[in-house]
Structure 1
Amino acid sequence: MKVFGSSGTRGVVGEGFTPEFVLRVAKAAASVWDDDRVALGRDTRTTGPMLADAAAAGLASVGVDVDRLGVAPTPATVRYCGVEGVPGIQITASHNPREYNGIKLVGNDGVELPVSALERVEEALLAERFTDADWETVGGTRRVETANDDYVAEMLATVDRNAIADAGLTVALDPGHGAGAVTSPEFFRELGCEVVTVNAQPDGHFPGRDPEPLEANLADLGRLVESTDADVGIAHDGDADRAIFYDETGAYVQGDASLAALAAESLSAGDTTVAAVNVSQRLVDVCEDVGATLDLTPIGSTNIITRIRELTADGETVPVAGEGNGGVFFPDYRLTRDGAFIGAKFLELLASRGETASEAVEPYSDYYNVRRDLTYDEDAELDAMLAAAEAFAADADAEPNTIDGYRLDYGDAWVLVRSSGTEPKVRVYAEARDADRAEALAAEVYDALVDAR
């Protein structure tokens, strides 16, 4: 696909990502969908109102009525679509920097569109096959004020609220000024937790930190956990479909470690889990321990959703899936990543075991991870780096996995190089039990790409 990447389509606003583009994507989606209503939500980015207006205009122009949800986490928009039986558009760039914005498309079944459906929308967009309405049949708009409240209420009814409340947990919460700021503080308080917050004011300038919940961006959360004696820290990205954790000592928890802990709690023998090609050995170990099958996809929520649906249709049981970036799926609840729900499932785990956060992830802490990013300005630079990656893989003493980029497994460690599906970057990932080994693997590939660029 040229337009839609691993999780919707995104870009720097004013540099190719414009209101005109958003309007055309909305027209294409509504022209493909056989629905007379579409839900429209957004995150807190400063460009969100402008781009939501453009999307609403595009939808109305092809005769579709628009349910405007306002600022809402992506999982709240997804839930609304599923309950109401309408497709949806979420204006968000998720974890990308503040100058970005983007579009995620949701089907009327309450699931982000799989690859096949995105391809149909993309074909309509590129061919400009729009079902324009005449002046008598253009769509109307109504504001929906209850989407966030209903989303919180459903989560409260789904998780083990009593067990969490009885555990008497203090949660330090960092919504990162994103859409989670309008729902997560209330949700965790309603679970019976004492909640302390940082960066909890909705603000599309993201003054406290960048939207991506990386360790480098979350120092304030670690300090908050430590200073308040919180039991756990929880951070979201811009649209609150991820959760990253800090333990009770104020130490960052690797997303791969929390995914492994949640998977170990959810998987049984004969189950299947789905993860991306940058999967940690931690999850491989969990699957081997419990007798579950691990199925790998290209990186990105779109690819994971598509594969979960295929496996479920074939009769496989997939109770948990996800990536080590904090994006975990619990398909029995809803086939979407949901930062608040992920956080609640981690609290359930602590409450049921009577463990601290550090104890819960300790079995999955024996690996060291490295990620390095290389930016590019021209396609020629990207092509040169990918050619270098191919050459590096061909010369390596390991058989490359080419599901998404080039992954080389060495037994004691692995390294992966791939182009990002959401930013003009090539990413290098490495993992090993030894920090020096992981750093050396990443540096070797990184240096080869720098030379090529």
Structure 2
Amino acid sequence: MFGTSGVRGPVGETVTADLALSIGRAVGVEADRVVVGRDAREAGKALCDALAAGLVESGTDVLEVGVAATPTVARAVGDRDADAGVVVTASHNPPQDNGIKLWSPSGQAFVGAEQETIARRIDEDDYALAAWDGHGERTACEGAGAAHRDAITAAGRRRFDAIAADPAELSVVVDVGNGTGGVTADALYELGVSVETLNATPDGRFPARPSEPTAETCESLARCVDALDADLGIAHDGDADRMMAVDETGTFVPGDLLLATFAREMAGAGDAVAAPVDTSLVVEDALAEVGASLVHTRVGDVYVAERAKEESVVFGGEPSGAWIFPQETLCPDGPLAAVTLAALVAEQPLSDRLDAFDPYPIRRTSIETDHRAAVVEAVREACQTIDGELSDLDGVRLSREDGWFLVRASGTQPLVRVTAEAREDGTAEELFEEAKTLVTDAVADLGS
């Protein structure tokens, strides 16, 4: 039921009101109070109603945030002394999708045993419904958005004060992407930054651009930053747990370079940064320069957050745009990342920071198969006799001194993904071909 980001899929097929009702009942078994919110997708209304019904008939009180950013809801769980939080969102997925993601009071998403418990209760109809006079209540969770804004504004002010920079001298364009990330513009405005917004009206159809912020979908943002001579462009996905950026030249910043920028700023000697197994070597090299280290996790922000709980880990991130600042929250917080990046840009232009990194050649492809798990297992077996350091943390990662390759099953599609990177182009190509051959051979043996 649960993938790396909760339950997610097409509305009316994978995600239904019946499923939302069951999840509400399952969460309500042990929760007395639950915070509930959603992104701007219209289908979220019915899903939230069904979810709340399941919670209320379990005797659980529901605090309704309404349409809000995922980190707004996740932060409210601990702030309101609730036992759990639920966000109805499909994040960066297309409009026809929706999803349900569960949160603990620490701001961390449900993972592992917590997800398994919810799934088991649903499979077994193992609920604890209240008597007719024991139902919970639904009340508005007022002020959650303002609390989130105030928290990230305070974090931003501390960073601006630390570098003695004047926010009023900074100009930022925020592309909300018709999602729920307007809190970013609010916080920057509160700091005194000059702010322009794009696509700021929440609309779950995402008419202005696809929800996921990529180089292709952020072309309008890039042009706007260039035309306005702004210092920075910020782009969010539909629920604002992700944040990507455009530098002052109007150039979209690749996720690995943005991760390296945050990592080197947040970490010092002896510190660690958590990132998934498909993270570029540029991050590892950037951390080595300041005496810090990179610790790998499985792909998915829930796994990055799990590792970020460790005392030595001062930051966690994914090149897809999920950034975790464990001293603030274990939820990926796009608005917090945006305010943090704005302070960094006030100290030094983003393009200058990026010039410190030397991106390495990387190759990627996806190979179709109906036997993705078996293919990955066959590759793992084959790698036992191949030179290199082998890790099966998430798929199969073979590391050598000059590069690495990763073979990993897609969590949502009948695909096996192949990635290879090295410090030299020729080596990257050799690793890529080696990994691709291992996969295609396994696919052929298994009959596609």
TM-score normalised over the length of structure 2: 0.90
CA 1:399–1:185 in structure 2 vs 1: closer, same or farther (change >3 Å)?
A: same
CA 1:435–1:169 in structure 2 vs 1: closer, same or farther (change >3 Å)?
A: farther
Tell me which residue corresponds to 1:7.
5
Post-superposition offset of 1:196: 2.1
Unaligned runs of 5+ in 2: none
* Structure 2 residue identity aligned to 1:351: A
Q: What is the count of residue pairs matched by the alignment?
A: 438
* Structure 2 residue identity aligned to 1:242: R
CA 1:166–1:240 in structure 2 vs 1: closer, same or farther (change >3 Å)?
A: closer
1:173 and 2:171 equivalent? Answer: no
Tell me which residue corresponds to 1:258.
258
CA 1:448–1:412 in structure 2 vs 1: closer, same or farther (change >3 Å)?
A: same
Which among 25, 28, 34 is matched to residue 30 of structure 1? Answer: 28
Mapping for residues 13-24 of structure 1, pairs under 5 Å:
13-24=11-22
Tell me which residue corresponds to 1:305.
305
Measure the CA separation in 1 of the matches of 2:430 and 2:211.
29
Measure the CA separation in 2 of the matches of 1:124 and 1:304.
26
SS at match of 2:314: coil
Measure the CA separation in 2 of the matches of 1:167 and 1:342.
19
CA 1:304–1:21 in structure 2 vs 1: closer, same or farther (change >3 Å)?
A: same
| Contact 2:17/2:50, CA 8 A, preserved across alignment | yes
TM-score normalised over the length of structure 1: 0.89
Tell me which residue corresponds to 2:357.
364
Which among 305, 318, 340 is matched to residue 313 of structure 2? Answer: 318
* Structure 1 residue identity aligned to 2:13: E
| Contact 2:246/2:253, CA 8 A, preserved across alignment | yes
Tell me which residue corresponds to 1:42.
38
Post-superposition offset of 1:396: 5.3
SS at match of 2:126: coil
* Structure 2 residue identity aligned to 1:348: A
What does the per-residue CA deviation read over 1:180-209, in whole Å, with 9 as the maximum and x for residues that have no partner? 1x3222222222222222222211111122
Tell me which residue corresponds to 2:421.
431
CA 1:83–1:59 in structure 2 vs 1: closer, same or farther (change >3 Å)?
A: same
| Contact 1:11/1:423, CA 8 A, preserved across alignment | no
State, as a whole percentage, how many aligned pairs show the same letter: 38
Mapping for residues 261-410 of structure 1, pairs under 5 Å:
261-309=261-309, 311=310, 316-352=311-347, 355-373=348-366, 380-383=370-373, 385-386=375-376, 389-390=379-380, 393=383, 397-410=387-400
CA 1:233–1:396 in structure 2 vs 1: closer, same or farther (change >3 Å)?
A: farther
Measure the CA separation in 1 of the matches of 2:410 and 2:197.
31
Tell me which residue corresponds to 1:144.
141
SS at match of 2:320: coil
| Contact 2:305/2:316, CA 8 A, preserved across alignment | no
Which among 135, 148, 153 is matched to residue 150 of structure 2? Answer: 153
RMSD: 2.5
| Contact 2:307/2:313, CA 8 A, preserved across alignment | no
| Contact 1:233/1:245, CA 8 A, preserved across alignment | yes
Which stretch has the larger CA shift, 70-79 or 296-305? 296-305
1:62 and 2:58 equivalent? Answer: yes
Tell me which residue corresponds to 2:115.
118
Post-superposition offset of 1:408: 2.5
Unaligned runs of 5+ in 1: none
* Structure 2 residue identity aligned to 1:125: I
Measure the CA separation in 2 of the matches of 1:136 and 1:200.
43
Measure the CA separation in 2 of the matches of 1:372 and 1:189.
42
CA 1:178–1:445 in structure 2 vs 1: closer, same or farther (change >3 Å)?
A: farther
| Contact 1:248/1:358, CA 8 A, preserved across alignment | yes
SS at match of 1:222: helix
Which stretch has the larger CA shift, 84-93 or 398-407? 398-407
Measure the CA separation in 2 of the matches of 1:84 and 1:166.
31
Post-superposition offset of 1:7: 2.0
Post-superposition offset of 1:20: 0.7
